[in-house]
A and B are shown apart, each in its own frame.
Chain A
């Protein structure tokens, strides 16, 4: 029996979306760097205080050329938060590898030198007891399914979708780790808060005809769309 309920103690964590400036270098790198220099000569303080993510997906870099790129950027005062689309063996650069943002990427014509980072195995969490007030279920690996109700004052945070075969009275945060296609389903809507990938609605913002009904919620643009299921 796996128990995923973690009683709220002092150690809590949340999924949160942050906006970052993403630089996507293009080959040849030397030309791209020259353009960066031109930009910086016009706006020298543009990158001051900003944390930047470099997206190197599909660039066919090696560990050595990647290291050189990072060095070049640092020399230009560009502070690097992390890197997207890099090979895990480059980790000792001291930069965090970021998860992909989940958006579809156009297939690059050049074959990548390193195989793409394997996606983490999605796993689904099933809980078949009611989730009690004060309990916090966090599942960064995929969907969460609750066979039962979620009490007022309880919360579910999932990387994927959240399915509740019961009454939802608490808070649910689906797609909490950057997944815009996550959805929320419940048999009876009395939620305190619903969020998908950081975009949220509180109970007051939900239209009256949707309350206490079975619903299905998804993200369209920046807004939560909710529809009844009967």
Chain B
């Protein structure tokens, strides 16, 4: 039974595209058939993070407008054969996406894939509402700081009112993915604590992804971080989150400041 997942946030730059790629790759590596769909028409980034920017021929708009078949637009990942990308257009804008066209494409994707992951653009306008419209569940990506939390709260309100699921009177499953968590700054009180964010947003926690240089390296190399460096802290956190999406119970690890811990244990700086 296919699941349509929207990765959304409200605020820009918090890690939606990174998370879409990382979660999609983690799920596909475990054998699921996954397609990641970029809804950020005009400012596409998912193709870069997936390393497919030089292989994009047709994009979501071509398919929505019926100019090409879905199979012509889907780009298979070179590393995992069950992972596909449907890129956004860079030259058009989101007015070119029609409601019925998107509905039809999502319907078609549901038939061939286990997971359809929609990478939402930032904001609360048409691009974001279209990306969430047909979702079965949502991952709300939030940084532990005040403006991101307030924007995420706004997005949660929209998930509960403007989606097809909400209109049918059903409750959409929403999960919080706390990204760019910096334990040092959290310890100094410069970032909101996990409990505080959960208190404000009141949705279950899917995972805590630590701030890490690995994420930047991975995007620059054109690879989801879960593939480029699977043992790094963010990659392990994303893999755990992907397992929780499948329903597994995985104990939550709060990233700690390892250098301080090792200092305390060995009385010297960690390498």
Q: Chain A residues in contact with chain B, CB under 8 A? A: 1, 5, 7, 129-130, 132-135, 148-149, 151-154, 167, 169
Contacts and interface: CB of A to CB of B under 8 A. Distances in A.
Contacts of A135: 157
Most A-side CB within 10 Å, residue of B151, B154, B162: B154
Contacts of B157: 5, 7, 132-135, 151, 154
B129 to A, nearest CB: 11
Interface of B: 124, 150-151, 153-154, 156-158, 160-162, 169, 199-200, 202
Contact of A153 (B154, B161, B202): B154
Contact of B153 (A5, A7, A153): A153
Which applies to chain A's interface (DSSP): helix, strand, loop or mixed? Answer: loop
Contact of B202 (A1, A5, A149, A154): A149
Contacts of A133: 150-151, 153-154, 157
B9 to A, nearest CB: 13
B244 to A, nearest CB: 22
Given A7-B157, A135-B157, A151-B150, 13 more contacts: A5-B161, A7-B161, A7-B162, A132-B153, A132-B154, A132-B156, A133-B154, A134-B124, A148-B202, A151-B200, A153-B150, A153-B153, A169-B200
A5 B162 CA distance: 12
Which applies to chain B's interface (DSSP): helix, strand, loop or mixed? Answer: helix
Contacts of A148: 202
B241 to A, nearest CB: 23
Nearest to B153: A133
Contacts of A154: 157
A100 to B, nearest CB: 36
B153 A152 contact: yes
11 contacts: A7-B161, A132-B156, A132-B160, A133-B153, A133-B154, A134-B154, A134-B157, A148-B202, A152-B153, A153-B153, A154-B157
Contact of A1 (B124, B162, B169, B200): B169
A134 B160 CA distance: 12
A218 B150 CA distance: 29
Contacts of A169: 200
B162 A151 contact: no
A180 B153 CA distance: 32
A51 to B, nearest CB: 39
A127 B202 CA distance: 15
B163 to A, nearest CB: 12
B164 to A, nearest CB: 15
Interchain residue pairs A-B with the least CB separation, the first 5: A132-B157, A133-B153, A133-B154, A134-B154, A151-B153
B124 to A, nearest CB: 8
A135 B150 CA distance: 12
Contacts of A7: 157-158, 161-162
Contacts of A130: 202
Contacts of B160: 129, 132
A167 B157 CA distance: 17
B270 to A, nearest CB: 38
A133 B202 CA distance: 13
A108 B2 CA distance: 72
A67 B7 CA distance: 64
Contacts of A1: 169
A132 B150 CA distance: 9
Contacts of A149: 200, 202
